Amino acid sequence: MGFPWLCRLTQGEAFYKRILQTYNYGIYSHAHCQHTIFFWNEVVGDKGVNNVISCEHHHHMNHGSGAGFLKMWFDACAGQCNNWVLIMYHLLITDPDLGMFMYHRLDEKIPTKGHTYLENDRATGLCLCPQMLPPYGL
């Protein structure tokens, strides 16, 4: 049983000492050989499809490579990537007749369930365990 009153605290020592749940979403660009990892806490939002799409859209708008072809690997989590909302977003950014057109082709890849060992998993693991970071960073 939790403590439902804890979420209603707005001030005081207990409010400032509580630990917030945090979420992250990582994107690795092979074109730039660069990791982009988004972090947010439970006050900003949860780790649902809307936040994942916001992270992906921010990445396309601010870190895009200008490529016409995009190959994306996702995990099999239906609450984040493997759902119709993200597919509809990908249709929006690949349709040249719409205002959000960014790519001529986008391939979505979803590996079998289990740990994927993709590049973004490596970066996320290093960010979640800062004691394991090499002295030169990623």
Position 126 in a domain: no
* C-alpha span between 28 and 83 (Å, rounded): 20
* C-alpha span between 41 and 126 (Å, rounded): 19
Asked if 48 and 79 touch (Cβ cutoff 8 Å), the reply is yes
Position 131 in a domain: no
Position 132 in a domain: no
**pTM metric for this prediction:** 0.69
**103-120 residues labelled b (16+ CB within 10 A) or e (exposed):** beeeeeeeeeeeeeebbb
Residue-level pLDDT, tens digit, the chain, 138 residues: 444 444 565 666 766 667 778 888 888 888 888 888 888 888 888 878 888 889 889 988 888 778 888 888 877 777 777 788 888 999 999 999 988 899 999 888 877 766 666 766 666 666 666 555 555 444
Position 121 in a domain: no
* C-alpha span between 32 and 105 (Å, rounded): 19
Domain count, the chain: 1
Position 137 in a domain: no
Domain that holds residue 110: 4-115
* C-alpha span between 26 and 85 (Å, rounded): 19
